[in-house]
């Protein structure tokens, strides 16, 4: 048999393999504990890669390490010349059960993990059986004190692993649905909320939790909303004026933050009496084991490296548990519980201490990323950022196209001005419903209302309406036109707040179309995007002498009236987008508009397109985006539901 590795390397690995796996398992737990919850408010790709790799590796490494220790029980030396090496390695087995239980900050990487709770239950049974098998063999050894010392960690490991399995089960769709039905039948919203008796931050948490409990959970499960819950929405939002757009969106952040915690973390158990008891038990187990090991165990019986690793495992367990408890204290769940029990003097004092020691501004900003991704199709076609490095390797393994998409993504903050504008537009839509329009009619406007308000619908209806116009083509038409008009006006009139807002919304919707197509109505959007990009690339190559930068490209596209579609593509999306851009530019001269009026119309069109996309996206897809830093589209969808702009929610003012 051919030996690929030298014998010296094999011997070295056989001697250190378990130790390496143990250290790796602990390191992975540290990474998961620190970064597991940060994806809630960081939308960058690096956090997703780190979390994904760590989440998948953590269980695998702990399971393999447990298997190695189990195999060593049949050996006399466990890959080592020291007779007691396998005894102390067996003592590490319960720590691996603790690692398999995972940190409080992440239980599921994606929603699908919750549905696989039965697999985790089987893993719990098997891994506990393996650890117990090791424990029994370990008990027969002469080192009686060390075997007894393993008992507390064994208990902590079973509690931790059991917690994780229970949380995955409780977040599965079937169990979650049963929980919502039971809680709703037992009372509905808390009508005893005192709106004026608490400070703004406390009020935000009270309202946010009530709306999460009675509205968001029902939306996620596609359940109809009770009329009593609609009244709760109305009462809450009546407490905010149109100038309080930042507070209204913070309310959405709180609700979706609670939803994220329920679906992806151990929040449902750690913020309960049972969870507090479990935390107390596990922390006591870790500390008592560490103290006894330090005082009573004879370290000279074992290798120094093994004793050091045991100290590291014990201290690591204590530090990670204390870190989790500290994080637990500074969460919306804890503050909500304290606010709800402020009639008790101790709870009131604790709330004041916690809220004052941890600035509310920092806490609010960590509920979601508050950013919107940007993707510009014309810039992608022009390769304005070049191409990613190692493109040849990526082509070879088939990920070049995907990596290029991420390469051209950028991120922009969602400004207060944009939030105010969106809220105002949604309130205007709510007024239309109160005037007698149906919810479906208002949601299906897709830009037609903006054009109608400015007497442009007849002229530009082909860009937003019609049974044969797929939604993705409307996005592409207006994305191309907005981009061309924006760069034209930058040269002639400069950037205005309205034109900047239109550009951001345009690039955001292009990002949704390209990177998150599952959030849009079903169709052939990806094919249309690919064909449009191919056409744009070919067009720019034909006129490469005239195009030296991105502004030249937009100028040529605006002036070119005969953009012929490649054969077999039918009517070109690129040519139609350029045609729309010319129509929009003529509004300044033919209709006597100024540039600001044109950009106000374009912005309103984009908000209507955004709202239509939000209403058509299923809440399961919205929930998936919570683990990616959150989407503006999700916050808009929730705000629409609170304003009655949802077919799940009865419209109008409740009686």
Tell whether 354 and 385 lie within a shared domain: no
**Residue 420 domain flag:** no
Q: Do 57 and 116 meet the contact criterion of CB atoms below 8 Å apart?
A: no
Tell whether 126 and 232 lie within a shared domain: no
Tell whether 351 and 375 lie within a shared domain: no
* HEC secondary structure over 54-78: HHHHHHHHHHHHHHHHHHHCCCCCC
Give per-residue pLDDT as tens, 66-77. Answer: 998 888 644 444
Q: Is the pLDDT of residue 397 over 50?
A: no
**Residue 2 domain flag:** no
Confidence of residue 393 (pLDDT cuts 50, 70, 90): very low
Q: Is the pLDDT of residue 398 over 70?
A: no
**Residue 186 domain flag:** no
Give per-residue pLDDT as tens, 432-490. Answer: 888 888 888 888 889 999 999 988 888 898 999 876 788 989 999 999 999 999 988 88
Give residue 593's pLDDT: 79
The average pLDDT across 620-635 equals 95
Residues of the chain with pLDDT > 70, as a percent, come to 82
Q: Please tell me the total count of domains within the chain.
A: 3
C-alpha distances (whole Å) from 241 to each of 77, 144, 245, 423 are: 74, 70, 8, 10
Residues paired with residue 411 on neighbouring β-strands, in sequence order: 373
Give per-residue pLDDT as tens, 137-193. Answer: 767 555 557 888 889 999 999 999 999 999 999 999 999 888 876 665 555 555 445
- Residue identified by tokens 């006399």 is 76
Tell whether 69 and 28 lie within a shared domain: yes
**Nearest by Cα to 29 from 112, 105, 132:** 105
Cα–Cα dist 449/650, whole Å = 22
Cα–Cα dist 55/60, whole Å = 9
**Residue 226 domain flag:** yes
Tell whether 235 and 288 lie within a shared domain: no
Give residue 52's pLDDT: 95
Q: Is the pLDDT of residue 338 over 70?
A: yes
Cα–Cα dist 83/591, whole Å = 93
Tell whether 278 and 250 lie within a shared domain: no
Radius of gyration (Cα) for the chain, nearest Å?
29
Cα–Cα dist 212/206, whole Å = 10
DSSP per-residue letters across 578-607: HHHHHHHHHHHHHS---HHHHHHHHHHHHH
- Give 333: exposed, middle or buried? Use CB within 10 Å, 0-12, 13-18, 19+: buried
Q: Which range has highest mean pLDDT (89-98, 292-301, 335-344)?
A: 89-98
Angle, in degrees to the nearest 10, between helices 304-329 and 7-35: 20
Phi-psi region for residue 279, left (φ > 0), alpha (ψ -120 to 50) or beta?
Answer: alpha
Q: Do 271 and 334 meet the contact criterion of CB atoms below 8 Å apart?
A: yes
Lowest model confidence (mean pLDDT) among 88-102, 225-239, 265-279, 340-354: 225-239
Q: Is the pLDDT of residue 384 over 80?
A: no
**Residue 312 domain flag:** yes
373 φ/ψ angles, rounded to the nearest 5 degrees? -70, 150
Cα–Cα dist 583/532, whole Å = 20
172 φ/ψ angles, rounded to the nearest 5 degrees? -65, 150
Give residue 546's pLDDT: 67
Tell whether 208 and 289 lie within a shared domain: no
Cα–Cα dist 540/138, whole Å = 73
Containing domain of residue 511, as a range? 371-413+444-616
Q: Do 408 and 380 meet the contact criterion of CB atoms below 8 Å apart?
A: yes
Give per-residue pLDDT as tens, 97-147. Answer: 999 999 999 999 999 999 999 999 999 999 999 998 888 876 755 555 788
Cα–Cα dist 262/257, whole Å = 9
Q: Do 306 and 177 meet the contact criterion of CB atoms below 8 Å apart?
A: no
Tell whether 157 and 209 lie within a shared domain: no
Cα–Cα dist 428/219, whole Å = 23
Tell whether 458 and 575 lie within a shared domain: yes
DSSP per-residue letters across 508-536: HHHHHHHH-GGGS-SSSHHHHHHHHHHHH
Q: Is the pLDDT of residue 618 over 70?
A: yes
**Residue 259 domain flag:** yes
> How many CA atoms, within 13 angstroms, populate the side-chain half-sphere of residue 422?
28
Tell whether 278 and 241 lie within a shared domain: no
Tell whether 571 and 518 lie within a shared domain: yes
Cα–Cα dist 394/386, whole Å = 15
**Residue 108 domain flag:** yes
Which H or E element spans position 411? strand 410-413
Give me 459's structure tokens: 């002229």
Which long-range contacts does 534-538 make (Cβ < 8 Å, 24+ apart)? 534/566, 535/563, 535/565, 535/566, 535/569, 535/572, 535/573, 535/574, 536/377, 536/378, 536/381, 536/574, 537/381, 538/566
> How many CA atoms, within 13 angstroms, populate the side-chain half-sphere of residue 303?
19
Which H or E element spans position 477? helix 471-492
C-alpha distances (whole Å) from 184 to each of 206, 223, 552 are: 17, 12, 60
Q: Is the pLDDT of residue 524 over 70?
A: no
Give me 231's structure tokens: 């009244």
Cα–Cα dist 238/259, whole Å = 23
**Residue 635 domain flag:** no
Tell whether 27 and 65 lie within a shared domain: yes
Cα–Cα dist 331/515, whole Å = 32
571 φ/ψ angles, rounded to the nearest 5 degrees? -70, 125
Q: Do 480 and 577 meet the contact criterion of CB atoms below 8 Å apart?
A: yes
Give me 442's structure tokens: 């208002």
């Amino acid at each position: 048999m051919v030996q690929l590795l030298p014998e010296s390397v094999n011997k070295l690995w056989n001697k250190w393999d378990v130790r390496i796996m143990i250290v790796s398992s602990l390191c992975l737990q540290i990474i998961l504990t620190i970064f597991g919850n940060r994806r809630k408010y960081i939308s960058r790709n690096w956090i997703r890669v780190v979390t994904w790799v760590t989440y998948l590796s953590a269980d695998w490494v702990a399971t393999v390490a447990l298997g190695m220790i189990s195999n060593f029980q049949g050996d006399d030396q466990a890959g080592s010349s020291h007779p007691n090496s396998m005894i102390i390695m067996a003592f590490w087995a319960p720590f691996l059960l603790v690692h398999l239980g995972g940190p409080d900050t992440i239980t599921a990487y994606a929603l699908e993990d919750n549905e696989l709770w039965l697999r985790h239950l089987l893993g719990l049974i098997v891994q506990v059986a393996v650890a117990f098998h090791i424990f029994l063999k370990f008990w027969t050894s002469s080192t009686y004190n060390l075997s007894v010392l393993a008992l507390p960690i064994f208990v902590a490991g079973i509690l931790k692993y059991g917690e994780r399995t229970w949380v995955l089960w409780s977040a599965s769709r079937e169990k979650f649905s049963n929980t919502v039905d039971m809680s709703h039948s037992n009372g509905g919203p808390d009508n005893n909320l005192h709106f004026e008796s608490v400070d703004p931050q406390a009020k935000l948490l009270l309202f946010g939790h009530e709306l999460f409990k009675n509205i968001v959970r029902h939306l996620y499960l596609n359940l109809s909303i009770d009329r009593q819950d609609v009244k709760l929405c109305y009462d809450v939002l009546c407490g905010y004026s149109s100038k309080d757009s930042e507070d209204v969106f913070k309310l959405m952040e709180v609700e979706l933050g609670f939803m994220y915690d329920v679906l992806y973390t151990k929040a449902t158990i750690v913020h309960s009496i049972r969870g507090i008891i479990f935390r107390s038990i596990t922390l006591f187990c870790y500390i008592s084991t560490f103290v006894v090991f330090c005082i009573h165990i004879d370290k000279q019986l074992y290798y120094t490296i093994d004793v050091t690793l045991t100290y590291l495992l014990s201290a690591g367990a204590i530090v990670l548990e204390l870190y989790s408890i500290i994080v637990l204290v500074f969460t919306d769940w804890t503050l909500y519980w304290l606010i709800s029990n402020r009639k008790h003097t101790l709870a009131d004092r604790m709330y004041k201490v916690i809220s004052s020691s941890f600035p509310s501004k920092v806490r609010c900003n960590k509920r979601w990323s508050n950013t919107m991704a940007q993707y510009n199709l014309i810039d992608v076609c022009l390769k304005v950022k070049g191409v990613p490095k190692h493109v040849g390797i990526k082509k070879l393994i088939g990920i070049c196209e995907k990596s290029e998409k991420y390469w051209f993504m950028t991120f922009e903050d969602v400004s207060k001005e944009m939030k105010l504008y969106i809220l105002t537009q949604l309130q205007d839509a709510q007024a239309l419903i109160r005037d007698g329009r149906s919810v479906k009619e208002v949601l299906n406007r897709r830009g037609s209302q903006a054009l109608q308000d400015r007497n442009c619908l007849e002229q530009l209806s082909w860009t937003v309406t019609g049974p044969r116009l797929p939604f993705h083509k409307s996005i592409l038409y207006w994305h191309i036109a907005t981009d061309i008009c924006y760069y034209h006006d930058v040269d002639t009139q400069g950037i205005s707040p309205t034109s900047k807002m239109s550009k951001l919304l345009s690039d955001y919707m292009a990002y949704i179309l390209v990177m998150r197509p599952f959030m849009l109505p079903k169709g052939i959007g990806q094919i249309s995007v690919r064909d449009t990009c191919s056409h744009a690339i070919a067009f720019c190559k034909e006129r490469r002498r005239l195009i030296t930068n991105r502004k030249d490209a937009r100028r040529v596209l605006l002036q070119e009236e005969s953009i012929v579609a490649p054969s077999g593509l039918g009517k070109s999306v690129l040519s139609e987008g350029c045609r729309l851009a010319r129509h929009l530019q003529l509004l300044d001269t033919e209709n006597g508009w100024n540039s600001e009026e044109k950009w106000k119309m374009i912005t309103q069109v984009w908000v209507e397109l955004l709202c239509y996309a939000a209403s058509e996206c299923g809440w399961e897809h919205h929930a998936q985006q919570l683990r990616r830093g959150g989407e503006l589209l999700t916050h808009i969808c929730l705000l629409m539901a609170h304003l009655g702009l949802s077919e799940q929610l009865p419209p109008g003012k409740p009686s």
